[in-house]
Structure 1
Amino acid sequence: MKLVNSTDCILDFSGISVASSWSQLKEQRIEYQTHLQQLRLTLTFLEWMTQVNLMHDLITTKALEICESDMLEAGYGPPPVPYSFIVFGSAGRMESTLWSDQDNGLIISNETNEFKDRYFEIFANLLCDQLAYLGYEKCLGKVMCSELLWRKTLMEWELTLTEWQSDMSWEPIRYLIIAADMRHIAGDQSLTVALKDLFYRGFKEVPELQYAILRNTVRHKATLNILGQVVTERFGDHAGGFDIKYGVYIPLVNFVRFMALQLDVRETTTKKRLQKLISLDSDNVLLESCQEAFDMAIKLRMSTPCTLSDGLLISSNYISEQELKNKTIMHELRESLGVIRRTHRALQRLLRFAERRKI
């Protein structure tokens, strides 16, 4: 283990590329996450997050390589047709923590092959099981390539997107919101490019989608009361604490994603979406505030307490009641929540305007 640049504290992740088994890959993940934890106070939070996500990408790419090797050894042969492995959620936005779970999918080539459905079913299940072994918990919402909904040929994906984009009910729109964060990791990148083109084409062909996305986005749990005080958890294991992920981070991500979709901004990360949006509307003070609040949200999210389980990190995403007594943390939290309140009001105004236009 060494640093590529001792001044910038950038890790050399070459150990991942030489891992040849699942156990070796898990050892590498544990070793690198330990070093990343040590670097947390040396790097800025955005620099640190970049390094964390680079590690995840390299581990996932190596996992795909080992999975293909296992399939070959088991007698299934190499992949019968090209495929692309994509990620969604925080991984798609390159905003994963050291304890993020799985959110992924497969795009399979339209090429004819009688064995491809069976091959990729076995491949996907093996991959998701082994990613869980490596510390990426399975998605509770089942957004994983082991699920048929997220494992399709490009032609099947096109049909599915058309179905989702013609149905304005809650669930299909939720799937579209998830798909908006897709990012290519490995395999045939042209398949990912084609799927993204199909995704954005749908938004141009079905203008009503903007309203449906807005309706889903505007739902928001109050995090400040009328006196401007932080609303903490009242009951349970986290009583007195505050959920940074769903109280601060997710509302900002949702707002920025909606604005990006509205203006056909095709960046994937929240930071790049914001930069592009600000370049398109430099007088928008709210977007500038969102940029500052997002930096705070990342800092607070990456700082939440975590514990070790089998050498891997787990976090509840909560700031504890004790930590909230820290004046700096509470000030940063209030500042961020104030911005979120303003974004929510802006979304509500847009929704009311859209509803009046429909009448």
Structure 2
Amino acid sequence: MELQNVAPWASSAGEIDHADTPESLRQARVDSQKWLLASRASDPLSDWLQTANEMHDRIAAKAVQICEKGMVEDGFGLPPVPYAFIAFGSMGRLESTLWSDQDNGMIISDVASADKELYFRELGCRLSAMLEYLGYPKCEGKVMCSELLWRRTLSDWRDQLTKWSDDFAWEPIRYLIISSDMRHIAGDAQLSSEWKCSFYELFRKHPDLPLAVLRNTVRHKATLNILGQIVTERFGEHAGDFDVKYGLYIPLVNVVRFLALQHGVEETSTLKRLRHLALLEAAPLPLLDACERAFRTALRLRMATPVQERDGLLVSNSYLAVKPLKQGKGWHELREALSTVRRLHRALQRQLRFMEGRRS
């Protein structure tokens, strides 16, 4: 990390750690993101991303503590059994922006308790609401600890994961893919560890699961036309703009995630997955190197999307205007990254045909 940023981050981390109310924690986030936003253009990308995601982790862990305290004050008492608060999505992958939404869940101990269903339903709703207040919008897909589907006992999680892995339809496999980005945030780390063991055991037991994941992975938004020209939005308020998230970032995340699942790589960070895949020689090294370059371009462009401030918190979308990109080197980098995406998807389409051919 750059030396000039050590002091402000240490101060911000201390402010987060000492927050004891939702209001003070929200202010700590506002203060932290101010200098993160100011430094995103000058700091090395990997250092900046690491600091931003450490901020998110600290805020989420502190939010859990404050919610638990509120549960005691309101007569619900302490947690009746151990539990873990976990992240999915960009937070699970350590790739959150300063405006990312919620993707989270809970793993609850199987220890018997008459009060645990009521307790954790209330805690899950409170925690999701507090995170929204702290600047993390609720997930449109409802991947949140306030939802029963993502708040389960360990045994119920195991049963659900098994059901998803036994059903190769689009939706169950999508849920399984979401689950693969799980990362422990707070609470009982052993529960998260046991959950992970159960998850990866499914892929060892079901050799056809990677094929089902691959079918989901090869579907993606067209980003280059047959002439190699970048495809921009055609309609709506973002007509003429480029969708960085779904046009570049998500396709790369999906490809690397599939390769990681296929080869038993348990990392959740896309960059760490790529490094592990390179060590395994899971794909030609020049292609993996090109994928990493493309992914770093995706991260830079994702951070460069226009930002608005609302009540001290940041809001952005995934679109970039084309004209400023064409005036700098960003346009060339984008085309190169999208060419890599096309190469990767063509390779996966060939692999899908081969794997399906072997089954027929």
TM-score relative to the length of structure 2: 0.97
How far, CA to CA, are the matches of 1:9 and 1:75 in structure 2? 40
How far, CA to CA, are the matches of 1:194 and 1:349 in structure 2? 35
Contact 1:239–1:321, Cα closer than 8 Å, also in 2 = no
**Residue of structure 2 equivalent to 1:23:** 23
Q: Does 1:304 align with 2:305?
A: yes
How far, CA to CA, are the matches of 2:198 and 2:221 in structure 1? 33
How far, CA to CA, are the matches of 1:161 and 1:283 in structure 2? 32
Deviations 1:18-52 (A, max 9, x none): 11100111111111100101111231112111111
Q: 1:4 to 1:16 in 2, by over 3 A?
A: farther
Q: Which moved more, 1:220-229 or 1:69-78?
A: 220-229
Q: Does 1:190 align with 2:190?
A: yes
**Residue of structure 1 equivalent to 2:347:** 346
**Residue of structure 2 equivalent to 1:40:** 40
Alignment map for 1:1-359 (pairs within 5 Å): 5-6=3-4, 11-12=9-10, 13-281=13-281, 283-359=284-360
Give the Å deviation of 1:57: 0.3
Equivalent residue of 2:212, what SS? helix
How far, CA to CA, are the matches of 1:152 and 1:268 in structure 2? 21
Give the Å deviation of 1:343: 0.6
Contact 1:241–1:318, Cα closer than 8 Å, also in 2 = yes
Structure 1 unaligned blocks of 5 or more = none
How far, CA to CA, are the matches of 1:48 and 1:280 in structure 2? 28
Structure 2 unaligned blocks of 5 or more = none
Give the Å deviation of 1:283: 4.5
Equivalent residue of 1:11, what SS? helix
Equivalent residue of 1:340, what SS? helix
Q: 1:233 to 1:252 in 2, by over 3 A?
A: same
How far, CA to CA, are the matches of 2:80 and 2:253 in structure 1? 37
Contact 1:128–1:146, Cα closer than 8 Å, also in 2 = yes
Q: Which moved more, 1:273-282 or 1:72-81?
A: 273-282
Identity of aligned residues (%): 54
How far, CA to CA, are the matches of 1:84 and 1:131 in structure 2? 16
Q: 1:338 to 1:70 in 2, by over 3 A?
A: same
How far, CA to CA, are the matches of 2:323 and 2:8 in structure 1? 33
Q: Which moved more, 1:254-263 or 1:39-48?
A: 39-48
Runs of 4 or more consecutive aligned structure 1 residues displaced over 4 Å after TM superposition:
7-10
Q: 1:72 to 1:44 in 2, by over 3 A?
A: same
